[in-house]
Amino acid sequence: MGRKFFYCAAAIAVAAASIYLNNTSLLAEHRPGKPVLLAHRGIAQRFDETDLKNDTCTASRMLPPKHDYLENTIPSMQAGFAAGADIVEIDIHPTTDGQFAVFHDWTLDCRTDGHGVTREHSMADMKRLDIGYGYTADGGKTFPFRGRGVGMMPTLAEVLSTFPDRRFLINVKKLAAVLNGLSEERRAEIIVYGGDEPIDVLRRMAPDIKTASRKSLKGCLFGYIGYGWTGLLPDECRHAMMLVPINIAPWLWGWPDRFLNRMADAGTEVFVLGPYRGNDFSTGIDDPSQLARLPPNYAAGIWTNEIEAIGKLAK
């Protein structure tokens, strides 16, 4: 009985040691370089994030403005890159005249003086809208950007031609034809994320584009936590964008360097987010205390809503 127990304990110890050696970051090669900063919506007006829902009009709960930039505009993107962003996130919608409008909302009613579903309008019509019309920080008493956003909704073509050598993360509903028309080198600089169904379609139609969806993020995270200790990766972790909440990162096998090296070998870019709460993948690394939770000399992606502040601190 004693000998059997000894052999069993020895086998368990060997297995535990093997798992440790296969996953400890202490033995992994450190990734050199600087963090890659992703500016969510470029430089944008911040808003009260309490109890947000999919249909919440964020322009109506804007915080007192600290700058004059409106999200998804050329000036906002320029300012984001100038503040240190390596990648700027933008949102797009197809239009009735065959273009793609760079605009966040599914409908026009919240931010603009227009009405109805965004994709049911022509780009020509939306160029006449005031995209700053609905922003208010005092419950509708004043509208500081009203009249200042006329004609500022850009097309995707305008954005790509204005920034021919810059990287973008595109939140998209339908884009495969446009992306397949780009050069191989340009496609390598684009990342696309969005709903599960459109991203599944895009991955089939443009397989060389890195993508992310809620389904792929959860599949990669939970699968890796479940059996990543073996060194095997879920399919959702391959050639993709991986968003890692800062409070979940320490639970990932081999965090940071061994995990980052495994993802890089699989063709996947990793971006750390703010803390995950419930079902929310949209919080960013937005203040010094969150930035300080990253490992020393961290050299992968950072998702932020405050590129003005985080750009200075990180670089």
pLDDT tens string 69-101: 999 999 999 999 999 999 999 999 999 999 999
Asked whether residue 134 is domain-assigned, the answer is yes
Whether 12 has a pLDDT exceeding 60, the answer reads yes
Asked whether residue 189 is domain-assigned, the answer is no
Asked whether residue 196 is domain-assigned, the answer is no
CA distances from 39 to 90, 217, 256, 299 (A): 9, 19, 22, 16
Q: Mapping DSSP to helix (H, G, I), strand (E, B) and coil, where does residue 39 land?
A: strand
Q: Which segment of 1-10, 18-27, 178-187, 294-303 scores lowest on mean pLDDT? A: 1-10
pLDDT band at 306 (very low <50, low <70, confident <90, very high): very high
Q: How many domains does the chain have?
A: 1
* Dihedral sign (CA 245, 246, 247, 250): positive
| Residue 252 confidence (pLDDT) | 95
What mean pLDDT is predicted for residues 118-127?
96
167-171 and 87-94 as β-strands: parallel, antiparallel, unpaired? parallel
What mean pLDDT is predicted for residues 306-315?
90
pLDDT band at 54 (very low <50, low <70, confident <90, very high): confident
Whether 6 has a pLDDT exceeding 60, the answer reads no
Whether 11 has a pLDDT exceeding 90, the answer reads no
Q: What is the CATH number of the domain that holds 124?
A: 3.20.20.190
What mean pLDDT is predicted for residues 196-209?
90
Residue 136 structural domain: 52-171
| Residue 10 confidence (pLDDT) | 60
The string of pLDDT tens digits covering residues 136-187 is 999 999 999 999 999 999 999 999 999 999 999 998 756 887 888 889 999 9
The string of pLDDT tens digits covering residues 236-288 is 999 999 999 999 999 999 999 999 999 999 999 999 999 987 665 568 999 99
| Residue 224 confidence (pLDDT) | 96
What mean pLDDT is predicted for residues 104-122?
96
The string of pLDDT tens digits covering residues 208-242 is 999 999 999 999 999 999 999 999 999 999 999 99
Asked whether residue 120 is domain-assigned, the answer is yes
Asked whether residue 103 is domain-assigned, the answer is yes
Asked whether residue 183 is domain-assigned, the answer is no
Asked whether residue 155 is domain-assigned, the answer is yes
Asked whether residue 66 is domain-assigned, the answer is yes
pLDDT band at 48 (very low <50, low <70, confident <90, very high): very high
| Residue 72 confidence (pLDDT) | 96
| Residue 267 confidence (pLDDT) | 95
| Residue 1 confidence (pLDDT) | 55
